[in-house]
Amino acid sequence: MIFLNSIRWRLQLWHGLLLVFVLAGFGFTAFQLQRSNQLRGIDQDLQHRIEVISRVMHRPGQGPGRSPPAGFGPVDGPPRDNFGPPRDRPGLEGSSPPRPVSPEERDRREDFLRGSPRFGEPPKARLPDPQSPDFAPALRDLPLTPQDLNLFDSSASNAFYYLAWTRDGRLLYHSESAPANLPPAPRGPGLSITRMRGTLREMLHYLPPGECILVGRDIGRELADTRRFAAVLLGAGGAVLAFGLAGGWWLATRAIRPIKDISATAAKISTGDLSQRIPPADTDNELGQLANVLNSAFARVEAAFAQQARFTSDAAHELRTPVSIMLTQTQASLTRERPAPEYRETVEACQRAAQRMRRLIESLLELARLDAAQEPIKLGRLDLAGTAADCVEQVRPLASERLITIETDLAATECSGDPERLAQVITNLLTNAIHYNKDRGEVRVSVQQQNGSVILTVTDTGQGISSEDLPHIFERFWRADKARSQANGRTGLGLAIAKSIADAHGGTIEVVSELGKGSTFTLRLPATRALSNQ
Amino acid sequence: MRILIVEDEPDLLSSLAKALREEGYAVDTANDGEEGFYKAESWDYDAVVLDVMLPKLDGWGVLQKLRKVKKTPVLMLTARDASRDRVRGLDTGADDYVVKPFDLAELLARLRALIRRAAGQTRNLIEIGEVTIDTAARIVRRAGVPVTLTAREYTLLEFLAVHRRELVTRTALYEHLFDEDDSTLSNLLDVHVSNIRKKLGAELITTRRGHGYCIE
């Protein structure tokens, strides 16, 4: 069932279920409508006939004492008292007077009363001769409207039959075509009962005195029509379902293809070439946005990878020089016997190289620790001015070697930070300011509190930094002069470490510089515990 | 053979210069790119060992400027072994490439090969009549018997042998055999030549009076 996890299959499944549901609902409704329409038509027809027959049975002027037409009913004759005028059907009371009936019309009436000649088994009871003067005398003189007469048209009354029972269940009349196997009329509580008996649609009507009229019709043809209609509906529904499923599959394929493309490209990128990008086919739609999001994520990952790779290669590069010094020094000195001072020189050179490697490794480890945030910054309350003053005292001998003066403007402040780390930053800024200064130059150090920040600035009067180098000077191993100047133990990591420390304190470090005039480095730390709050 | 080393690491520079001098090369040194280019342009070095990371003018810059005026063989020294860097170095006109940290022996062998190739030689064995010179082992044989030469005598002989059938002027010999710190007197050249003749036969080196020397 793994395919159920695929969006396409799930879409297809839901789509299919929805389609089946909609089609079934629609088909069922259509079928019901058609069926009820058909039945209503038939029932109306039956109702109409019942009305006509009941009118025949209770013709006004035909008293209850009048005998029923000879031969038009059960052989033993109907009970006379059953033929009272309808008491609850005033519509029939006020019928218009009889009008002359044409011979064709009479034929149709007889057809009606006999029922369809095509229908069912022949009735057991014999019908009277239609030519007899007693035949359906009431019907002959009925005031039938042309619409009613249509009912007697043999073509319109196909498969129609009727029966009538007396109140005590004796069969009073029946049409020639009435099925003989009809059970006696049941005593229903209502006035009218409509029922299905096999393919026969029957309507029972109880007249108020108690007689019962049953009018029925074989609706086999209509039922077959309905079944055909259902079959057509089913077939059409199936076709629509198949078409809809195929369309849904096509749509799902179309909708999923870009996703598949994206995931294929993403997989390729994540396993191999990070410089590849998902082609943003259409940036306006959701998938285009997804592609853009993924692309920017890849760009960040690539940048991080590139930075990492550059850092590693830079670190290796920085380590290579001292290693080559040690190698050439020792190899050259081992080519022959040498006097002791030469060996001493070699050993000293090796020591210098080893110390340089140690500094580099320490810096690298420190950066790695800051990167991984392994050693959390030990936040303690500290006066940055005091720290700065200590640092200035440390570097003063270095400055006086080159007759550089250090001026300080240190206002007492309080911020939280790691004094050791911050001292490292300040010392680094100060040694840079001295190293890149001109002889007899000047270094100004100031600490002040401003807008919730503690700000330390170190300004030198040195060579400055070119605008091309300026954005890079906090990068690892970046050197403005592109050359190693290992004489003073610079690793090219000092400012990068300073930035990492500033970041770890939630602060910033910035530089402004003018070529030939000097640079100003600004360390900004949040004054979380300002003096005013104490 | 006179070689220029351009390298800004003092300890590396000193040990390289010492090793090369002990190999009998005349060695000049430069601490930055500008000085290196100035020296490489003003003298006909047999080879230049050029570091890539240099102050003032980096190795690429030196090489680019030098290639416009001279065909001096250049061996690049770099701490980067990315193939992109190697390709760039070779494309810019470097003749060989050595990645730090390197073995001194390898550097010396590459230098020898570089000088040999520049003189049109492909083997490290030069035969002149019954005299053979093995430039890799720095051994000279006469009729199969090793002959002991001083370092100066050897470099003089090798230089003349490498430029066989060419007239080598005294100036060229001074330029290629002695470095800038040497205060050798001109007559010393004659002393070396006569010593070689004593050891390997008088007819080996012919003197073109007033011009220089030649090995036919």
pLDDT given for residue A242 in this prediction = 92
Sort strands B47-51 and B74-78 into parallel, antiparallel or unpaired.
parallel
Tokens representing residue B22 in the block = 């002990």
Contact assignment for B19 to A487 by CB distance below 8 Å: no
Nearest-CB residue to B9 (from A336, A482, A484): A484
**Whole-angstrom distance, CA of residue A391 vs CA of residue A396:** 9
- Assess A312–B contact: CB distance below 8 Å, yes or no: no
What three-state secondary structure class fits A323?
helix
ipTM confidence score = 0.75
Q: Cβ–Cβ contacts within 10 Å for residue B81, how many?
A: 15
Judge: B102–A325 Cβ closer than 8 Å, yes or no.
no
- Spatial separation of the C-alpha atoms in residues A99 and B119, rounded to whole Å: 146
Interhelix angle B104-118/A286-333, nearest 10 degrees: 90
**Which residue is closest to B15 within chain A, CA to CA?**
A329
Q: How many CB atoms lie within 10 A of CB A145?
A: 11
Q: Which residues of B touch A316 (CB under 8 A)?
A: 79
Nearest-5° angle of CA A163, CA A164, CA A168? 135
pLDDT at A74: 37
pLDDT of residue A531: 42
State the burial class of residue B106 (Cβ atoms within 10 Å of its Cβ: 0-12, 13-18, 19+): exposed
d(CA B201, CA A321): 47
For the residues of B151-178, what is the DSSP string, one character each?
A: HHHHHHHHHHHHTTTS-EEHHHHHHHHS
pLDDT beneath 70: ranges in chain A: 1-4, 58-159, 176, 180-190, 280-284, 373-376, 479-490, 528-534
From A316, A318, A329, residue closest to B11, measured CB to CB = A329
Measured distance CA(B185)–CA(B187) in Å, rounded: 6
Q: How many helices (H) and strands (E) does chain A have?
A: 11, 12
Q: Buried b / exposed e across A197-231, counting CB within 10 Å, b at 16+?
A: eeebbbbbbbbebebbbbbbbbbeebbeebeeebe
Written as six digits, the tokens of A462 are 């040195």
Cα→Cα distances A268→A258, A479, B189, Å: 15, 37, 70
Tokens for A506, please give them. 């939630």
Strand partners, A213: A164, A205
pLDDT at B191: 84
Per-residue DSSP letter, A350? H
CB contact under 8 A, B15 and A325: yes
Where do the H-state alpha helices sit in chain B? 10-22, 33-42, 59-69, 83-92, 104-118, 151-162, 170-177, 186-200
| A223 contacts A237 by C-beta, under 8 angstroms | no
Largest pairwise CA distance in chain A: 166
Contact of B10 with chain A, judged by CB distance below 8 Å, is answered with yes
**What is the separation of C-alpha B173 from the centre of its chain, rounded to a whole number of angstroms?**
12
CB A201 within 8 A of CB A219: yes
Omega into A397 within 30° of 0, i.e. cis?
Answer: no
Predicted pLDDT at A465:
83
pLDDT value, residue A62: 43
Which of A310, A323, A325 is the best substitution to test chain B (most B C-beta atoms within 10 A)? Answer: A325
Q: Would you call B101 and A483 a contact, using CB atoms and an 8 Å cutoff?
A: no
Mean pLDDT across chain B: 85
What residue type is assigned to position B45 of the chain?
Y
Q: Which residues contact B134 (CB under 8 A, 6 or more apart)?
A: B124, B125, B140, B141
> Rounded to an integer, what distance in angstroms lies between the CA atom of residue A149 and that of residue A144?
6
Which residue among B11, B22, B100 places its CB closest to the CB of A349?
A: B11
The pLDDT of residue B75 is 92
Give strand pairing partners of A510: A522
Strand partners, B128: B131
Quick check: A186 and A87 in contact, CB under 8 A? no
Task: List the structure tokens of A297.
Answer: 């994520």
At A374 the pLDDT is 62
- For B43, the token pair is 């003298």
The number of C-beta contacts closer than 8 angstroms across A and B is 79
| B100-111: pLDDT as tens digits | 888 988 999 999
What is the Cα–Cα distance from A349 to A342, expressed in whole angstroms?
11
CA distance B97 to B110: 9
Cβ within 8 Å of residue A130, ≥6 positions away: A110
Order of strands, sheet of B74-78, starting from the edge strand that comes earlier in the sequence:
B26-30, B2-6, B47-51, B74-78, B96-99
* Its pTM surpasses 0.80: no
Q: What is the separation of C-alpha A245 from the centre of its chain, rounded to a whole number of angstroms?
A: 19
